[in-house]
């Protein structure tokens, strides 16, 4: 791994890792659904704008019913459900714990890939997965006196991490083979996710920008940068 690639990984880690703290701040005034809605709306606006500015037009790919359906399927498992689960989970779990549990996605991806994609899981990966699972148990520490609500909240965040892993496999199997650009797929699935959550409460995002500078900054940054 060269320095440029290493820097990119670290930079993305900072961006994605900080999202859990921003979610915690946003939840001071907004519901989990509102946080997820605004995240997705902000991300959709940015990605569609970049898509259009890059000259990608509708006619460049086959916008078939099947392709659009897969965008909604990917959006459901990659962002809509995970964002809701994480936002709800952080109402009872600290953001630091949420961040650690959310980072278990590679573990689940390593477990699912051999089953679904028939990819080999070598000895090193097996050891890594085993160590990772032990780490998850230590974070949960079910032997402690924490409340059932906290355990369920942490479980919701782990489920979100599992859905992220499922989404990677879903993309690799159904959307990447279509030949559509990664930007087109990203913009499409984020937009689809936003539409799905807006259908639950169309007026939800309307209360944003009335919660004070700190909360407004956090929730808008979540959408524009992190998402």
Task: Quote the pTM value.
Answer: 0.88
pLDDT of residue 131: 79
Q: What is the Cα–Cα distance from 209 to 100, expressed in whole angstroms?
A: 30
Those residues whose C-beta lies under 8 Å from the C-beta of residue 128, and which sit 6 or more positions away, are: 107, 110
Q: Provide mean pLDDT across the span 98-120.
A: 79
Instruction: Show me where the domains of the chain are located.
Output: 20-226
Nearest to 220 by CA among 23, 11, 10: 23
Residue with tokens 């909604």: 72
Residue 6's pLDDT band, with cuts at 50, 70 and 90, is confident
State both tokens at 112.
């699912």
Q: Tell me which H or E stretch contains 77.
A: none
Question: Each residue of 129-162: pLDDT tens digit?
Answer: 777 777 777 776 665 656 777 888 888 999 999 9
Query: What are the angstrom distances between the C-alpha of 71 and each of 28, 52, 187?
Result: 32, 18, 9
Question: Each residue of 27-59: pLDDT tens digit?
Answer: 998 999 999 999 999 999 999 999 888 875 544
The more confidently predicted of residues 203 and 173 is 173
Residue 16's pLDDT band, with cuts at 50, 70 and 90, is confident
Q: Tell me which H or E stretch contains 30.
A: none
Query: What are the angstrom distances between the C-alpha of 206 and each of 30, 31, 35, 198, 209?
Result: 11, 12, 12, 11, 8
Least confident of 3-17, 63-77, 169-183, 204-218: 204-218
What is the pLDDT of the chain when averaged over all its residues?
A: 84
- Identify the burial level of 82 via C-beta atoms within 10 angstroms of its C-beta, where 0-12 means exposed, 13-18 middle and 19 or more buried: buried
> How many other CB atoms are there within 10 angstroms of residue 51's CB atom?
18
pLDDT of residue 198: 93
């Amino acid at each position: 791994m060269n320095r440029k690639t290493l820097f990119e990984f670290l930079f993305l880690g900072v961006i994605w890792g900080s999202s859990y703290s921003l979610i915690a701040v946003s939840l001071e005034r907004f519901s989990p659904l509102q946080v997820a809605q605004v995240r997705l709306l902000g991300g959709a606006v940015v990605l569609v704008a970049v898509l259009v500015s890059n000259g990608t037009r509708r006619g460049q790919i086959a916008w078939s019913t099947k392709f659009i359906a897969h965008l909604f399927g990917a959006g459901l498992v990659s962002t809509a459900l995970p964002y809701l689960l994480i936002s709800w989970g952080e109402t009872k779990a600290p953001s630091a714990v949420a961040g650690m549990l959310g980072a278990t996605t590679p573990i689940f991806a390593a477990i699912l890939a051999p089953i679904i994609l028939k990819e080999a899981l070598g000895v090193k990966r097996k050891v890594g997965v085993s160590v990772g699972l032990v780490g998850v148990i230590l974070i949960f520490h079910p032997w402690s006196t924490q409340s059932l609500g906290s355990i369920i909240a942490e479980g919701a965040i782990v489920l979100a991490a599992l859905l992220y892993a499922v989404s990677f496999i879903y993309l690799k199997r159904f959307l990447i083979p279509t030949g559509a650009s990664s930007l087109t797929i990203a913009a499409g699935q984020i937009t689809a996710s936003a539409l799905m959550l807006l259908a639950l409460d169309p007026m939800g995002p309307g209360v944003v920008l009335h919660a004070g500078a700190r909360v407004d900054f956090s929730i808008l940054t979540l959408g524009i940068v992190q998402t």
